[in-house]
Structure 1
């Protein structure tokens, strides 16, 4: 993808290197939230997760509140959220999540793509795209 100046835009995503049971690559927030649901986080990690998840919820829109079908597998199979490269204020908070995952031996990769797929949602900090098959 290119911006209005013709510059190639590389979107950024943090995800598991392994497909989940639905065949998708779980993103960083899903990975940490899964550890929390399993009761595996320390008190400090859970405090970090709650505070930072709340900050993210306040800092940007959950695409599913704008379009309830954005993550619906029947409508948008495999849709995934990607940070825009300009969203550095959001990306800057990712290392704390990565530290939690590393402490639990959960792998997470940073993926960059100029073409994350068919974009089904976009705002000023993110896109949600259906991967091209």
Structure 2
């Protein structure tokens, strides 16, 4: 199984590589998005909420483990394809990001049909 993760290319002040959803949501909270970017974010966040399981709805503590991050299964193209719009927002604000692909991203602590949450090796 191959997994993919889109994340900041540079760590934050705590040394974490935030995922693209966290990055765009943080920019929205800071008022940095254009009106069109805000509409995209809200519509697509709502779509993800309606169509995919949020791991914290199953296990509220899943991200309490140090370094725990989500990876999408490449067998869920409908989930992965919508990330492109978030990446466009990051590009428009010159926020560097990277795509990681792995067959073994870490110790799996949550999984469903579309994603896993892992603690990196």
| Residue 129 (str. 1) matches residue 121 (str. 2) | no
SS at match of 1:129: strand
| Residue 29 (str. 1) matches residue 25 (str. 2) | no
TM-score, L = length of structure 1: 0.88
Q: Which has a greater percent of helix?
A: 2
- Answer 1 or 2: higher relative contact order, Cα 8 Å, separation at least 6: 2
Moved over 6 A (4+): none
In the alignment, structure 1 segments of 5+ residues that lack a partner are: 1-8
In the alignment, structure 2 segments of 5+ residues that lack a partner are: none
Q: How many residues align?
A: 121
Pick the structure with greater CA Rg.
1
TM-score, L = length of structure 2: 0.97
SS at match of 1:68: coil
Query: What RMSD over aligned residues (CA atoms) do the two structures have, in Å?
Result: 0.8
Alignment of 1:62-81 (within 5 A): 62-72=54-64, 76-81=65-70
